[in-house]
């Protein structure tokens, strides 16, 4: 799945985030899927999605730079494919 870093993204309304020492657990109440975020920076990116105009901006605010961006883009694509995050239409 191609993930558009320049689009606005946010958590699916049926997803709950539970911070953990290793990162976080995401639980989708609709699909009953559980995702593990094993990186605190990825958790910061996911939390910033609702506040930033794009996923790229959320990554920048969370401190993701340069070569790391490809890895975070892939992680966000996986979260989008599992419907943990979804495109956002309203402005932050």
What does each of the 92 residues of the chain score in pLDDT, given as a tens digit? 589 999 999 999 999 999 999 899 999 999 999 999 999 999 999 999 999 999 999 999 999 998 999 999 999 999 999 999 999 986 55
Q: What residue spans define the domains of the chain?
A: 10-85
Contact in structure between 45 and 62 (CB atoms under 8 Å): yes
The label of the residue with tokens 């094993």 reads: 38
Q: What is the pLDDT at residue 89?
A: 80
**CB distance 27 to 45 below 8 Å:** no
Which parts of the chain fold into alpha helices (H)? Answer: 40-48, 55-61, 68-81
Residue 35: its pLDDT value, please?
95
Q: How far apart are CA 61 and CA 13, in angstroms?
A: 22
Fold of 10-85: Outer Surface Protein A; domain 3 (3.90.930)
């Amino acid at each position: 799945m191609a993930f558009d870093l320049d689009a606005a993204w946010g958590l699916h309304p049926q997803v709950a985030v539970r911070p953990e020492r290793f990162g976080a657990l995401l639980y989708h109440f609709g699909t009953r899927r559980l995702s593990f975020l094993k990186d605190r920076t990825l958790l910061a990116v996911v939390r910033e999605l609702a506040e930033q105009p794009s996923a790229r901006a959320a990554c920048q605010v969370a401190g993701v730079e340069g070569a790391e961006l490809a890895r975070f883009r892939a992680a966000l694509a996986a979260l989008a494919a599992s419907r943990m995050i979804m495109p956002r239409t309203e402005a932050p």
